[in-house]
Structure 1
């Protein structure tokens, strides 16, 4: 009910709205401030959490000595092979002589003219017990039968479409007959010429294909497909190779090496139509184009062999990718630039944490930052800085500053590149020890991980605080709902109060009017 003030002429509704607004304003303001503060703190904590997660990944990598013991391979000639090395490799010089590359068996079945078709012939390949056979006469029969299947499938699909459109039940013979007439009989009430013409055109195409198969035989690409789709063939692929006056069907082993060879290959009883290539010539018949062989590399007087041209761990920590026959010298040495990049990544990720913390903790003229005065953030930064500035007995470089890495006035790390380069070049092992530690003494990354685990992992300090803030906002939402209910009740009470007042004023006005009328 809206208070209109009919008896008094007073706008009670405006008065009620003003009273309610004045009463709820302080609580509204308090709830808004707290919700905004909680939201801002959640966003800030998540942002810091993201930088911590990224930093921890870097610290974890750096805590593995392999990251600081990166090696690289320098080759005298990159034409013959490439080399990938990992931390298991041993620095030194190596001489390799690639004697031969691994190859896959490749055989031509036969070569014919592009338009040739075939009605007879048997193709066999593979070792005994695993032999694949393609009988062209059988293939021809299957493909002809497939055209009959296509015809039936096309008719069924067309009848189904007619039945759905006009409500025929194809399981009832009489209604199926009606559907067939609707599809093909021009006199039928549901006949559609465009539909019938499309259907007939597709039937004619299938019939033409069937006639071609029955009269001329199968084409080269149909033989190719039969080989490639044979359910027992999982290691040989047929390709069509066009050259000169014809097209050859070529078998290719899927993998290189002697163990992956195709095995014996034979083609017998081939009968061709529309062929202009002389199948009796050796170059047009079945012949081996490439034998299967393993790769062979001389390492001194030792012979290294592999079924593929990628020799993995033939020598610990080294993978050879063979390219061509030839000799090459390989020098394996420390990748100093890679180590510096790893250290620089550590510095960059640490600085992101500090810069993000600074963004959310330093107040400005606009007001306090979201994490201004936050004890957990201050504690985290203090602990991180403690790890950074600590001294470590695992290395002769006991502090980061001895590597040229120092903290500036803003709390972020800076790198003296000349000093870092010299430290890495002069004593690479001790640089690694500072970060990674030794068997008896921890390195910087060990202590850093202890700190980060309190903040990084699920259920850590920031996760707990974020959960608490989200719970607080749910409570604030309930407080707001309760405030709404109280204000609704207050509004009803005020309207009732002013309604009674308005009624009394109306009565008084009525009495006044009556008295005035009696006196006049």
Structure 2
């Protein structure tokens, strides 16, 4: 359709009239659509906000509902000297409380092999001069099955052999180095060290082709019956005593030597005043009191953030100047708030604490959790929390983790019910987004109706324009005829 310019013939302001009629028709309907869109967007935003907070809270609860995460153990170590850390320790949550006196008497080590004095004058000496072709040396540890083979070519120098060993792609921890003794009697010595520790894990260097020149660089021949170089230092276990009991480990990490406890030796314990006995460090395995207290306080804070958001989103303005919340009076959010309060106020039969109140956590008049410093005759919340952490550590875990009545267990299932893909909030979000799509369709139909309405008005006033134009022409002709 062609939208024609009106008023050209008649001189009347018909375009302005059409615009005013269109505005009068558009304004109320557009206001209703805009108000509806604003309401839907606010609902989607509010639902996303509360869903995000509940999801964060669910992650906190996921940790607290498992005994292994809430009932942690904390190792405390007292060394003979504050300046010297003999070992570090970790304890699984299943470790028993206890105190242990530990002394490290030997660190784990790998084997060390050196070439003999004066076998090489310096690092540029050739290790293989005969023309029989390349040879190979195999480095291996029988107990572990690790091995790699290095090719030795004619006129390869001691330095080149060192680099070939160190740069080999399959090298499992063998390091080759050259030490120049600075004397003709000592010469240059190629030193092999292995990072594989533990008794019996000695490094072997095999002269695969039994080339005579390589005997001075290897420990045995291809049949592994001959003996050439011997280890200057054999691989050894780490050794320690725990309450006087001797223990060993292939590495410096003693795992489960104390059940569910591991400690890693870093230094040998210093000698006592007698010059013979090693001084002990004290390892105490206790409850992670600070960690649990932090989890409880975080639980209270995260719970209160959700309650604050629900109150903000569902509030009614107290005056005409104060706007309502995006979901004022919404039954879904009121249901969430009520369900949360019901769970945190409930009892847990399996815990001697019985409820969060005995832990010092209680609901205030605003429906939020608090650990009060005020004492109304049963001890303040802070006092009750401190007593529970000192005397009822395991009972706190039961209060949160019991599979049927645990506070964290039930809250986790509740938040999961609301935040999962098929949860109530997700379903409500999808419904609101469907309403938004429907509103967009309504806008398109409304714009089409307004276009048709404008054409109707222009057709109507075009006839008026043309009629008035003809009348004006007739009037002008008569006036001209009459002189």
TM-score in terms of structure 1 length: 0.72
Higher alpha-carbon deviation: 461-470 or 334-343:
334-343
* 1:357-372 → structure 2 map (5 Å cutoff): 357-364=310-317, 365-372=321-328
SS at 1:487 equivalent: helix
8 Å CA contact 1:253, 1:260 repeated in 2:
no
Is there any run of 5+ residues in structure 2 with no aligned partner, and where? 130-134, 215-228, 270-279, 372-380
Alignment RMSD (CA, Å): 3.2
SS at 1:256 equivalent: coil
**Where does residue 210 of structure 1 map in the other structure?**
none
Pair 1:236-2:173 in alignment: yes
* 1:213-232 → structure 2 map (5 Å cutoff): 220=159, 223-230=161-168
User: Which of 360, 371, 382 is the matching residue for 1:417?
Assistant: 382
Deviations 1:284-318 (A, max 9, x none): xx885754222233335654333322222233220
**Where does residue 433 of structure 2 map in the other structure?**
470
**How far apart are residue 62 of structure 1 and its match?**
1.5
Give the structure with the larger helix fraction. 1
Pair 1:515-2:469 in alignment: no
**Where does residue 404 of structure 1 map in the other structure?**
360
Aligned partners of 1:33 and 1:250: how far apart in 2? 84
Aligned partners of 2:353 and 2:305: how far apart in 1? 25
**Where does residue 8 of structure 1 map in the other structure?**
10
**Where does residue 338 of structure 1 map in the other structure?**
291
Are residues 466 and 117 of structure 1, via their aligned partners in 2, closer, same or farther at CA, if it must alter by over 3 Å? farther
SS at 1:459 equivalent: coil
Aligned partners of 1:117 and 1:492: how far apart in 2? 103
8 Å CA contact 2:198, 2:251 repeated in 1:
yes
8 Å CA contact 2:148, 2:171 repeated in 1:
no
- Matched positions, count: 423
8 Å CA contact 1:136, 1:223 repeated in 2:
no
**Where does residue 36 of structure 1 map in the other structure?**
38
**Where does residue 310 of structure 1 map in the other structure?**
253
* 1:438-477 → structure 2 map (5 Å cutoff): 442-477=405-440
8 Å CA contact 2:86, 2:267 repeated in 1:
yes
User: Which of 150, 154, 162 is the matching residue for 1:133?
Assistant: 150
8 Å CA contact 1:67, 1:342 repeated in 2:
no
8 Å CA contact 1:102, 1:256 repeated in 2:
yes
**Where does residue 73 of structure 1 map in the other structure?**
75
Aligned partners of 1:224 and 1:475: how far apart in 2? 76
**Where does residue 57 of structure 2 map in the other structure?**
55
Aligned partners of 2:394 and 2:263: how far apart in 1? 27
Aligned partners of 2:297 and 2:26: how far apart in 1? 55
Pair 1:389-2:345 in alignment: yes
SS at 1:395 equivalent: coil
Higher alpha-carbon deviation: 100-109 or 1-10:
100-109
Are residues 325 and 119 of structure 1, via their aligned partners in 2, closer, same or farther at CA, if it must alter by over 3 Å? closer
**Where does residue 295 of structure 1 map in the other structure?**
238
**How far apart are residue 248 of structure 1 and its match?**
7.6
Aligned partners of 1:392 and 1:473: how far apart in 2? 45
Pair 1:320-2:263 in alignment: yes
TM-score in terms of structure 2 length: 0.77
Higher alpha-carbon deviation: 422-431 or 341-350:
422-431
Are residues 487 and 97 of structure 1, via their aligned partners in 2, closer, same or farther at CA, if it must alter by over 3 Å? same
- Where does structure 1 differ by over 6 angstroms across 4 or more consecutive aligned residues? 109-114, 241-249, 265-268
Higher-RCO chain (CA-CA 8 Å, sequence separation at least 6): 1
Are residues 317 and 518 of structure 1, via their aligned partners in 2, closer, same or farther at CA, if it must alter by over 3 Å? same
**How far apart are residue 397 of structure 1 and its match?**
2.1
Aligned partners of 2:39 and 2:466: how far apart in 1? 48
Higher alpha-carbon deviation: 32-41 or 95-104:
95-104
Are residues 36 and 96 of structure 1, via their aligned partners in 2, closer, same or farther at CA, if it must alter by over 3 Å? same
Is there any run of 5+ residues in structure 1 with no aligned partner, and where? 141-216, 271-285
Pair 1:257-2:270 in alignment: no
SS at 2:204 equivalent: coil
Aligned partners of 2:52 and 2:179: how far apart in 1? 58
Aligned partners of 1:442 and 1:449: how far apart in 2? 12
**How far apart are residue 386 of structure 1 and its match?**
0.9
Higher alpha-carbon deviation: 500-509 or 391-400:
391-400
**Where does residue 274 of structure 1 map in the other structure?**
none
8 Å CA contact 1:134, 1:227 repeated in 2:
no
Are residues 423 and 88 of structure 1, via their aligned partners in 2, closer, same or farther at CA, if it must alter by over 3 Å? closer
